Structure 1
């Protein structure tokens, strides 16, 4: 049977949308939904004018431009203000220091080298072997005294030249101590031949690599005429990175001033004035005398670069306190050989006694090494400002009797970093009065102590100084931990 039998045959579907006349289209072309109403809404893209009108009109564009410009102006003003604050803020000026101002000097004792051969040669060999060890401790220069006569090149020349060669290989400079040595051409009225002999001797040792000379303020060479002569010779050997120096050891209470045309002598004729903390004494000083001498020097203002050495004899239990003082004072520390190489002492052979001596020597060397390396890397200890901090009566009497030596303190500062040095020479402990040092930061961290057993953070109001103890505390401003 055929499938299409007419329009209404089998397989065909009548279109319900057809009118009676069959004029409507087929189901494929008929709309599925009819929109109600006669007015149909027409969707078209908005024009530029319509967008500006809906955004608030043309004034909105100007306001937006003003806001963007204001933002960038405010940002530029903030940046300029920050730069101005950094540039104009108070900060310490970096003072250029020459080599002797950054150095740590080791003064060799005369009895180490004033031995007759072969003892003297063995002492010289032992000293040469120790030079790299001295360098590892932070020592930069040696003051050599007692190795025969430096102005007699025939007798002492080979020994000093050997030591100079060894020290140069170890990276150490050498200063010859000629204090008390009879020099040529240093007195008024000396003939020209003697003056030329002095210049020749100076040139000889400078040519061998000597970094400078040390004289005493009581020597005949300590005159304007002689120092002018010495300076002219030193200038011949000076280099931009290696200057030769003249050190004057102060042996009197006041160093005699030198004058030129009635005015104070230019300080360049004398580079360093070496001053002793303690006065000379045939017997060890008492704790009161030691504290009094320290306090006197802490209150004195100096007009030249100072070098510091212990000088007089002090009680053994104050030696480490004095070492802390030397390494934290402004100026150049000059330590003695026995401060780096403590004497073993005694002839006992007991193993426990030897162990205690070894521990004592190790602790002193550890303290020295810690202080020297902190001084080398901390600007405040090297060239920072110095402030003496006196204690009031109430703080001094907290835990110590009125007859005890005074507790001493001073501050080394560089920017916002402060190093507080506290020295207790008394035989009793001492605590800090909370009212003392109210302008100081309240907390810090231990840098060094005489027993090398103070570690970690510390609050000043809880700090108690032990008898014969010195401590170095690095303080911080609130919120600053640099």
Structure 2
């Protein structure tokens, strides 16, 4: 197996992991100092959200220089030191590649905007106004409002699927594709182990720039982009060729035992998601647990999702699963702490590579953000345009600082953090949970260690018959996972006797006969005899 199949990927949001220079914002040196914690957790790779030079209109997803570290986070030398020490500990490092758009302060866009005749004009997507005036078509931004902004100086509109300060690159231009590939080479030469590619499914756009059809599901209060379906701005056929080109760059730097990997951010139905395997993406992010599983936390629904995904994979495709990230509500806020433990058991015992979001091992809740401290540009923009936006809390509640201990400001910083800490940080922190043998942190550590069992890594998945709110499945021939998704005691008939090797309650390891008794909100991993 390749390292990326065996590893657990841990997402670090650099602004919120550890501050070392006293400005209230996390930095690369802070991540370096916390590498021993990640090693002790048992993860195999860390994915770093963007730390490139940026005006920070979207906290690094608006890149002004792909090959420099923003001073907020440190220097290139800080990154090199972090990478060396991560590798010395046996940890791989993935960077967040943002190829769909840049900052409007990127030199490429400043040139492109300077005149219609500039050689970089075609590096971005420019269109004349509609015949009656106004934007060229009805495309809408993910962050609210039209996806077009008029440039008064040149009289044309430029496309931005996100903020106006994030103009979209023109991926039809081979010079653009080569420039992004050069960015990849820059970081691969420094030794990074691959990339998580931001909004991979959005790179190509309809060359005819046709209006998108209205959505029958839209209702007042939903974001502007929900007004339409998106056959012309998402998952265009040309995207697969672009993915293949990026994969070729990665392959050129790969060697036995050191494969460079591509993880793709792709919010698509499973039937379309799996096409990105064929294009060359090692791990097209499977968000089905987030988008369909967590909102409908029932055994029959989870079984349906897993079976559907497994049924679409070929023998060459490797599955992956994720329960949270920097754009989604916190796991513990969605399910409650008891079922968050059950969900963690699911994630680490399904077949495939799990990705884990920082702080979820503490069952961190989403933190209520006072209006005056809201940072999320998507929320600010949508809040100005609609009285009841789809995400009334924005993304800030999931991006709050990591609480390390009970010292002032939770050991995260010596200054006021850029976002508020979780209110219970004096008791919900890493140091406290290290001392608690039944904490969520200890459970996650145990699950990651258990996942290394050969059949839990390689064994086939089969749904196992269950009833009464229990979701159960077999891994290989020797393991059964039983998850009680209810707050009532349940019982499950086993295929044969076995032994409970891990319970989400962390209070029993015992032999079991033909019936497994599950307490409320309990998951159990059973080694069958």
What's 1:408 paired with? 471
SS at 1:289 equivalent: coil
* Higher relative contact order (CA closer than 8 Å, sequence separation 6+): 2
**What's the TM-score once normalised by structure 2's chain length?**
0.58
Question: Which residue, 496, 515, 518 being the options, matches 1:465?
Answer: 518
User: Which residue is equivalent to 1:270?
Assistant: 281
2:276 & 2:430 partners in 1: Cα distance?
A: 54
User: Secondary structure, in 3 states, of the residue corresponding to 2:34?
Assistant: helix
Output one character per residue of 1:386-439: Cα deviation in whole Å (capped at 9) or x when no partner: 111132xxx52xxxxxxxxx31100001xxx5111001111111112x5xx5xx
Normalised by the size of structure 1, how large is the TM-score?
Answer: 0.63
1:375 and 2:447 equivalent?
A: no
Q: Please tell me whether the aligned partners of residues 180 and 219 of structure 1 are also in contact (alpha carbons under 8 angstroms).
A: no
What does residue 89 of structure 2 align with?
Answer: 170
Aligned CA distance change for structure 1 residues 357 and 238 (closer, same or farther; 3 Å): closer
Q: How much does 1:355 deviate?
A: 11
1:299 aligns with 2:307: yes
Judging changes above 3 Å, is the alpha-carbon distance between structure 1 residues 188 and 368 closer, same or farther for their aligned structure 2 residues?
Answer: closer
In the alignment, is residue 146 of structure 1 matched against residue 50 of structure 2?
yes
1:474 aligns with 2:527: yes
Most deviating of 309-318 and 356-365: 356-365
Tell me how far 1:256 sits from its aligned partner.
Answer: 3.5
CA positional deviation for 1:273: 2.1
Higher helix share: 1
CA apart distance, 1:126: 3.0
Preserved CA contact (<8 Å) 1:113 1:124: no
On the 8 A contact 1:212/1:244 being kept in 2, the answer is yes
Partner of 1:79: none
* Cα shift readout 1:39-71 (whole Å, capped 9, x = no counterpart): xxxxxxxxxxxxxxxxxxxxxxxxxxxxxxxxx
Verify the 8 A CA contact 1:164 1:210 in the aligned structure 2: yes
* Counterpart-to-counterpart distance in 1, 2:359 and 2:300: 24
The equivalent residue for 1:289 is 297
Partner of 2:487: 427
Partner of 1:389: 464
What displacement does 1:357 show? 6.6
| Corresponding residue number in structure 2 for 1:332 | 353
Q: 1:219 aligns with which of 187, 199, 202?
A: 202
Aligned to 2:223: none
Contact 1:217 1:255 (8 Å CA) reproduced: no
Alpha-carbon separation, structure 1, partners of 2:524 and 2:88: 35
Unaligned 5+ segments in structure 1 are: 1-96, 259-263, 397-405, 477-482
| Count, aligned residues | 347
In 2, Cα distance between the equivalents of 1:181 and 1:362?
Answer: 43
Check whether the contact 2:200–2:266 (CA below 8 A) recurs between aligned residues: yes
Q: Which has the larger radius of gyration?
A: 1
Q: 1:319 aligns with which of 331, 340, 344?
A: 340
